[in-house]
Amino acid sequence: MAAARLRLAAWNASIDTDLARVSHLRGNTMTTAAQAAVTHRTVGTAARAQAVSKLYGHGETAVTALDGVDVDIERGRFTAIMGPSGSGKSTLMHCLAGLDAVSSGKIWIYGRDGAASELTAMKDKELTNLRRDRIGFIFQSFNLLPTLNAAENITLPMDIAGRKPNKAWLDRVIGTVGLESRLKHRPSELSGGQQQRVAVARALAGQPEIIFGDEPTGNLDSRSGAEVLGFLRRSVDELGQTFVMVTHDPSAAAYADRVLFLADGRIVDDMASPNADKVLDRMRQFDTHGHNQRGDAAAQR
């Protein structure tokens, strides 16, 4: 949790920096070898991790948060990441999103045309641009700017990037999350569920290739949480969005098309067509220390 707070602070800081630089960013385009990139045969893939490991700290105090993770995230699908506390869920998501650097291995994000951008080969500035232009984020704590109204919060990333919102798309997104009557309200005048719907609309508005959610319903009551998850599901089904979500909640994971289970920094299971009971049963197979009782992915199937 402390780690998640640190990353959120880093994201906030980068938004603040971006706001300060807003005028300089207008017209900025990404031009990199990494973006020009290789075209892999991955039109159905939105992101890929290959042999990704992540260590925090050094020597005797080093913690292995990820241990040789290989995974493809499918385009236009809803993927949930589950596992015991400390199993590496947030670290995996943050590495996939370019918010955290890997210790070894490679991460790619793929354009809708299949062109690959290797995040792990990018310099900071390139990575910042890629995150801003091609990746959406939804955090547990909404992360809205209190002085801006809902409409201004939704278009903020595009304003920062100097991109004009596509009006028809924006209207569709706002309709999808049911915010038409709340656009002039500031965050303090909205319920938690409505604030998170603003954050969902903000993530969708720029038509990013992939959206990552870190416990997006963790601060909501179950009714508002179900509503937000329903909107996220619709964004995948009706708008073709790719969505990856870390959650502790089996009923939240049940909204996904696929659930990846992590234990001790490794993917130990991969469940298609989940429902809350199946997910809960699988979670019960982790022992109280958070380790995978049966060892490896093959053993789980």
Ligand X SMILES: Nc1ncnc2c1ncn2[C@@H]1O[C@H](COP(=O)(O)OP(=O)(O)OP(=O)(O)O)[C@@H](O)[C@H]1O
Q: Which residues bind ligand X (CB under 6 A)?
A: 1, 3-4, 6, 56-57, 63, 65, 83, 85-91
Q: How far is the CB of 245 from ligand X (least distance, A)?
A: 12
Q: How far is the CB of 240 from ligand X (least distance, A)?
A: 28
Q: Which residues pair with 270 in a beta bridge?
A: 260
Q: How far is the CB of 71 from ligand X (least distance, A)?
A: 15
| Beta carbon nearer to ligand X, 36 or 63 | 63
| Beta carbon nearer to ligand X, 86 or 114 | 86
Residue nearest ligand X (C-beta atom): 3
Q: How far is the CB of 270 from ligand X (least distance, A)?
A: 17
Q: How far is the CB of 288 from ligand X (least distance, A)?
A: 15
| Beta carbon nearer to ligand X, 89 or 266 | 89
Contact 43, 96 (CB under 8 A): no
Q: How far is the CB of 57 from ligand X (least distance, A)?
A: 6
Residue 278: enclosing H or E segment and its boundaries? Answer: helix 276-284
Strand 104-110 versus strand 45-56 pairing type: antiparallel
| Beta carbon nearer to ligand X, 51 or 101 | 101
| Beta carbon nearer to ligand X, 130 or 262 | 262
Q: Which segments of 206-241 does DSSP mark as H helices, in order? A: 222-239
Q: How far is the CB of 97 from ligand X (least distance, A)?
A: 13
- The residue assigned the tokens 């201004």 is 152
- Residue 100 has phi, psi (to 5 degrees) of -135, 140
Structure tokens at 119: 């995040």
Strand 135-139 versus strand 116-118 pairing type: unpaired
Helix (H, G, I), strand (E, B) or coil at 65: strand
Across the beta sheet with 116-118, the strand order is: 63-74, 45-56, 104-110, 116-118
- Residue 67 has phi, psi (to 5 degrees) of -135, 80
| Beta carbon nearer to ligand X, 66 or 179 | 66
Contact 47, 140 (CB under 8 A): no
Structure tokens at 106: 């490679």
Distance (Å, whole) CA 107 – CA 54: 12
| Beta carbon nearer to ligand X, 28 or 103 | 103
Helix (H, G, I), strand (E, B) or coil at 85: coil
